Amino acid sequence: MGTVMKIARRGFLFGSVAILGGVAFGWWKFATPYGNPVAGGLNPYVMIDGTGVTIIAPRAEMGQGVHTTLAALVAEEMDLTLEQVRVIHGPASAAYYNSAVLGEGVPFAPTDTGWLAEAVRGAMEVPAKFLGLQITGGSSSVPDAFDKMRLAGAAARSALVQAAAGRLGVPVGELRTEGGFVIAPDGTRLGYVDLAEAAAGVTLESEPVLKDRAEWTLLGKSQPRVDAVAKSTGAAVYTADLRLPGMLYATVRTNPRLGGAVKGYDASVAEGMAGVVKVVPVDGGAAVIARTTWQAMQAAGAIAFDWGDAPYPATSAELGAVLAASFTEERRDSVNRDDGDVDRALVGDVFEVAYSVPYLAHATMEPMTAAALLKDGALTVWAGHQLPTQILVEGAALTGLPAEAVTVNTMLMGGGFGRRAEMDVIRQVIALAKAVEGQPVLLTWSREEDMTHDGYRPAALARVRAKLDGGKIAAFDFATCSSSVVESQAGRLGYSVPGPDGAIVQGAWEQPYRFAHHRVTGYRAPAMVPVGSWRSVGASQNAFFHESAVDELAHLAGVDPVAFRLGQIDHGPSRKVIEAVAEMSDWGTRRAGRAKGIAFCMSFGVPVAEVIEVEETAAGLRMTGAWAAADVGIALDPGNIEAQVSGAMVYGLSAAIRGEITFADGMAEQSTFWDFEPLRMPQCPPIAVRVLEGLERIRGIGEPGLPPAAPALANAIFALTGQRIRELPLGKAVGFA
């Protein structure tokens, strides 16, 4: 085990700078903060100008409500309502690095709160800062922001109060704040806007004091979304909505055999079509730049390509064979858990089973889009993106410009799920901006291009061997195999990450089950089809494997599935979510013609239990109810948490029922929503969510609601029909109404 450095008490600095015409406040960990991304100095979360207070929420808003929650952290400490602030994403800058995202990669289970585990988690902030990744993902936005954005608000308030004290000649302790004003004992009210300039010159002598939880007026309550009106009225601007003077429009066609070469193409017909400005070669294919997006797409379809072969096995059967052959010592990637003596315990009557899941597309509602303008020695990029600081790197590398000449405007996005951390569309649009220098160009992928050119959720296999003793699991040997998401995704960014890929065993090794003999082994298959982070990453497949096996063993033991799980989990919050969902769903009562299934998974530190109820109809199986209980430690916005869990369940159920990407001749066979079909609204069951707060620290919730959905449904199908399905999608084995 490597040496764990002791981290000294973190210092805090307060600073204020002029930015974008206003006064900006920031509270920063470490003695040497990053410079201001716009004007130099410290980086702000709060800006005050003549129009009022603007809060910078530097995480990508992709429908998960993060701008609302992050803004509430600041507004709470400033005694403002959300109606009194404007919320923007802000500039791309390493100053907005995500200090929590690396915490998921430490080799300690979330239930381990010992000194060593906590020291290593704390130490992760050091590499996080120096990597400087402004990233939205890993359910990390709220844990990352919980302290730093409240401190930003408290620091801004403290400076404003000190400025008011100086102006009024009143002691700081006699002043209070409310609704954007500092209020004196005699009722004199000074507005934040009026005090901002003076507050910019205040130096705080000590760390500002955060409110006690009992004092919260915003946090802990459901809040209206700050973007609800704009999105409901069509006023919200996504990348595809962007319109700039002189803008051109483009689309691409690239080799459907991902990573394959382009032997050549004939664009003569396309170049003569109406509105076409030019055809530009891009990596793996060609782009058409035209006067409208429709003209570009029509012309792209007229290009004749000679595609090269795929650099991976050409069919799903061949890809599956490589996976199956990768359960070897040579391919062993990790053994994150090895309790007791599994090999000695697994003798005699041993339960053995295998499971499989397919590749999955992200299938975001908004296809990949980006815009760029290269003009006068500067590059500006507009994109809904989960990793805007990497765009700064790419922009400088591809244009030869200094990094400070690259500007990134992070837009709203119609779904991300990990897909919008990729750089393919960014590299393409920068190439197009170079081809039409001086004019902005908006690149929009077709749905077909989007679906067939993804960094897919990897296909995966699992093999489970177990033994029962006295109605409980005595030995459990879990082995899983997939290509490495980290290797594939980091490689596309130009990075090489050493060591095991924790995503391969995520959602399996860290589960709070206590079996006397327990081993979890991950096997890394060769890199084949490009794979990437898909909502909940490895937990999306491993929960299906793990909870299907646990359920099979419960039935084999003749023990109720809820009681079976509770009998082998000693983690309090995990037990409570199982107990809660059992109570919510009236687990012990079975209605005629219906049955329920349960599944549990801890992912991203969040224990979640879900129950699905199904019934058999003449048209096929129908889901009649869904219940979920999740423990997030501190529920900052219960309504938004419920929405996130519900949305994650629906996304997971869609994938569980019909989600599958298959390959023939090296190409993905699914290309649109008609053959990669999401769950329809009439098919969606009523969903009830209960939010618990028993964990020792605050956790994020964007992903943990997904992993239990597939196994809960599969387990319900077994309970109703007696058919045990061990391969996804479930729709290949049973019909759904």
**Which strand (E) or helix (H) includes residue 351?**
strand 351-357
Distance CA 478, CA 458 (A): 18
**Which strand (E) or helix (H) includes residue 147?**
helix 141-168
Judge if the upstream peptide bond of residue 127 is cis by omega within 30 degrees of 0: no
> Which tokens go with 287?
């782009």
551 in helix, strand or coil? helix
CB neighbour list of residue 609: distance below 8 Å, 6 or more residues apart: 577, 578, 580, 581, 582, 598, 599, 600, 628, 629, 708
- Structure confidence at residue 27 (pLDDT): 42
Q: Following DSSP, what letter does each residue of 232-255 receive, concatenated?
A: HHT---BGGG---TT-EEEEEEE-
Q: For 476, which DSSP code?
A: E
Q: What is the pTM of this model?
A: 0.94
> Which tokens go with 574?
């995990």
Q: Order of strands, edge to edge, in the sheet holding 189-191?
A: 176-178, 181-183, 189-191
Q: Burial letters for 532-545: b for 16+ Cβ neighbours within 10 Å, e otherwise?
A: bbbbbbbbbbbbbb
330 in helix, strand or coil? helix
Q: At which residue do the structure tokens 């090999």 appear?
A: 343
Sorted by where each starts, the structural domains of the chain and their CATH numbers stand as 41-98+133-212+226-233 (3.30.365.10), 239-310+368-444 (3.30.365.10), 316-358+455-732 (3.30.365.10)
User: Does residue 516 have a pLDDT over 90?
Assistant: yes
Distances 490 to 49, 106, 116, 457, 495 between C-alpha atoms, Å? 40, 18, 28, 15, 5
Distances 438 to 248, 295, 377, 582, 720 between C-alpha atoms, Å? 11, 21, 10, 62, 64
- Structure confidence at residue 60 (pLDDT): 97
User: Does residue 40 have a pLDDT over 70?
Assistant: no
Distance CA 555, CA 563 (A): 11
User: Does residue 646 have a pLDDT over 70?
Assistant: yes
- Structure confidence at residue 705 (pLDDT): 99
Can you tell me the mean pLDDT for 651-674?
Answer: 98
- Structure confidence at residue 8 (pLDDT): 20
8 Å CB contact between 208 and 151: yes
User: Does residue 620 have a pLDDT over 70?
Assistant: yes
| Amino acid in position 99 | S
User: Does residue 144 have a pLDDT over 70?
Assistant: yes
Distances 604 to 111, 327, 388, 482, 538 between C-alpha atoms, Å? 11, 26, 23, 20, 11
- Structure confidence at residue 35 (pLDDT): 55
Can you tell me the mean pLDDT for 72-77?
Answer: 98
pLDDT band at 2 (very low <50, low <70, confident <90, very high): very low
User: Does residue 39 have a pLDDT over 60?
Assistant: no
Looking at the chain, the whole-number percentage of residues with pLDDT higher than 70 is 94
- Structure confidence at residue 201 (pLDDT): 85
User: Looking at 2-16, 228-242, 327-341, which range is the least confident one?
Assistant: 2-16
Q: Which residue has the higher pLDDT, 737 or 127?
A: 737
Distance CA 160, CA 154 (A): 10
User: Does residue 43 have a pLDDT over 90?
Assistant: no
- Structure confidence at residue 30 (pLDDT): 40
Say what the alpha-carbon torsion angle 442, 447, 451, 452 is, to the nearest 10 degrees.
-80
Q: What are the helix (H) ranges across 186-247?
A: 192-199, 228-233
Q: Which residue has the higher pLDDT, 356 or 128?
A: 356
pLDDT band at 127 (very low <50, low <70, confident <90, very high): confident
**Which strand (E) or helix (H) includes residue 27?**
strand 22-29
Q: What are the helix (H) ranges across 354-476?
A: 388-399, 424-435, 447-452
| Among the listed residues 42, 52, 59, 62, the one whose alpha carbon sits nearest the alpha carbon of residue 21 | 52
- Structure confidence at residue 528 (pLDDT): 98
pLDDT, one tens digit per residue, over 433-454 is: 999 999 999 999 999 999 999 9
Q: Which residues pair with 14 in a beta bridge?
A: 27
> Which tokens go with 295?
């003209």
Can you tell me the mean pLDDT for 124-151?
Answer: 93
- Structure confidence at residue 29 (pLDDT): 40
Q: What is the mean pLDDT of the chain?
A: 93
Q: Burial letters for 128-140: b for 16+ Cβ neighbours within 10 Å, e otherwise?
A: bbeebbbbbbbbb
pLDDT, one tens digit per residue, over 321-373 is: 999 999 999 999 999 999 999 999 999 999 999 999 999 999 999 999 999 99
CB neighbour list of residue 611: distance below 8 Å, 6 or more residues apart: 581, 582, 584, 585, 587, 596, 597, 598, 625, 626, 627, 628, 712, 716
- Structure confidence at residue 23 (pLDDT): 55
- Structure confidence at residue 610 (pLDDT): 99
pLDDT band at 7 (very low <50, low <70, confident <90, very high): very low
Distance CA 316, CA 458 (A): 12
Distances 268 to 276, 278, 299, 302, 386 between C-alpha atoms, Å? 11, 11, 10, 9, 37
281 in helix, strand or coil? strand
- Structure confidence at residue 130 (pLDDT): 86
pLDDT band at 105 (very low <50, low <70, confident <90, very high): confident
- Structure confidence at residue 70 (pLDDT): 98
pLDDT band at 129 (very low <50, low <70, confident <90, very high): confident
Can you tell me the mean pLDDT for 525-529?
Answer: 98
Q: Order of strands, edge to edge, in the sheet holding 472-483?
A: 332-339, 517-525, 472-483, 460-469, 351-357
Distance CA 598, CA 212 (A): 37
User: Looking at 19-33, 104-118, 213-227, 687-701, which range is the least confident one?
Assistant: 19-33
- Structure confidence at residue 25 (pLDDT): 53
- Structure confidence at residue 452 (pLDDT): 99
Distances 276 to 238, 241, 247, 267, 286 between C-alpha atoms, Å? 24, 21, 13, 11, 13
